[in-house]
């Protein structure tokens, strides 16, 4: 697993340099896909680089990216690539976008090149945050009071919680795994396996929990608040499950 983690970090960081250069230069062209989401030339360049490196180093592994057709492998392993997670932020000059790479169900790397931050986690390895040369172990908060819970909301169909404190949603995953917020709820059409590729491994290895609470609703929390929050966001008749299952 350590070999895979080192490789994933190297590839994701190299790809993130491509995204960072494009971000610094400004986005020249944006087009909209069939689902209405934005895509840029940088998305394609980043994914192509990741695919090339994986093909060179792990030719038997499958690769599924957001912008290109899936390449099926023979090893039983599959990499998921979200070349620029937060394309809207990228397009509008906000540095909180990331380059995400995950070995499905096993490890996850999220690089925010314009902020100089990387989050990485592997099953049984814990979660770590790198800020330049500084490395820290990431741990979620221990908040167990729903009334004092700090919650980030994302998506077009934000739930009305009735309890807790809704806070700014920027850098929400980073803040969750480092204890800055207690829960993140994403709701609304458009959530896909690429949006969720890194989330379970990062959050769970930092001590938290992640649950898909019905169609297009995902709850990630510190753990102690999870069941209570799940009761507020889960819709009657929907059986919660694990994202990607």
Whole-angstrom Cα distance, residue 169 to residue 187?
13
Q: Which residue is associated with the tokens 């960081």?
A: 13
Query: What DSSP designation does 158 have?
Result: -
Question: Quick one: tokens of 218?
Answer: 């995902």
Q: Is 192 annotated as a binding residue?
A: no
Has 195 been labeled as part of a binding site? Answer: yes
56 is in an annotated binding site: no
CA-to-CA distance for 125 and 120, rounded, in angstroms?
10
For the sheet with 98-103, list strands across it: 62-65, 78-85, 98-103, 107-112, 117-122, 126-131, 134-137
Dist. CA 237–CA 113, nearest whole Å:
42
- Going by the DSSP 8-state scheme, the letter that residue 66 receives in this structure is S
Residue 185 among known ligand-binding residues: no
List residues forming the annotated binding site for Mg(2+): 66, 82, 84, 195
List residues forming the annotated binding site: 66, 82, 84, 195
């Amino acid at each position: 697993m350590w070999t895979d983690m080192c490789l994933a970090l190297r590839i994701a960081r190299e790809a993130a340099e491509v995204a960072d250069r494009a971000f610094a230069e400004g986005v020249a062209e944006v087009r909209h896909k069939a689902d209405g989401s934005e895509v840029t030339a940088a998305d394609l360049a980043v994914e192509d680089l990741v695919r090339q490196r994986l093909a060179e180093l792990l030719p038997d592994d499958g690769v599924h990216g957001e912008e290109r057709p899936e390449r099926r492998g023979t090893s039983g392993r599959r990499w998921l690539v979200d070349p620029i997670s937060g394309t809207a932020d990228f397009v509008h000059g906000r540095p909180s976008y990331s380059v995400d790479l995950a070995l499905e169900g096993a490890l996850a790397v999220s690089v925010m090149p314009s902020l100089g931050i990387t989050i990485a986690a592997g099953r049984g390895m814990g979660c770590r945050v790198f800020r330049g040369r500084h490395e820290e172990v990431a741990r979620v908060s221990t908040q167990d009071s729903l009334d004092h819970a700090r919650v980030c909301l994302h998506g077009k169909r934000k739930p009305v919680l009735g309890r807790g404190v809704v806070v700014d949603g920027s850098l929400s995953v980073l803040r969750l795994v480092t204890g800055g917020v207690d829960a993140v709820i994403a709701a609304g059409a458009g959530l896909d396996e690429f949006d969720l590729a890194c989330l379970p491994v990062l959050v769970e290895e930092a001590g938290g929990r992640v649950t898909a609470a019905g169609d297009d609703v995902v709850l990630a929390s510190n753990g102690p608040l999870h069941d209570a929050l799940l009761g507020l966001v889960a819709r009657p008749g929907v059986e919660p499950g694990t994202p990607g299952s």
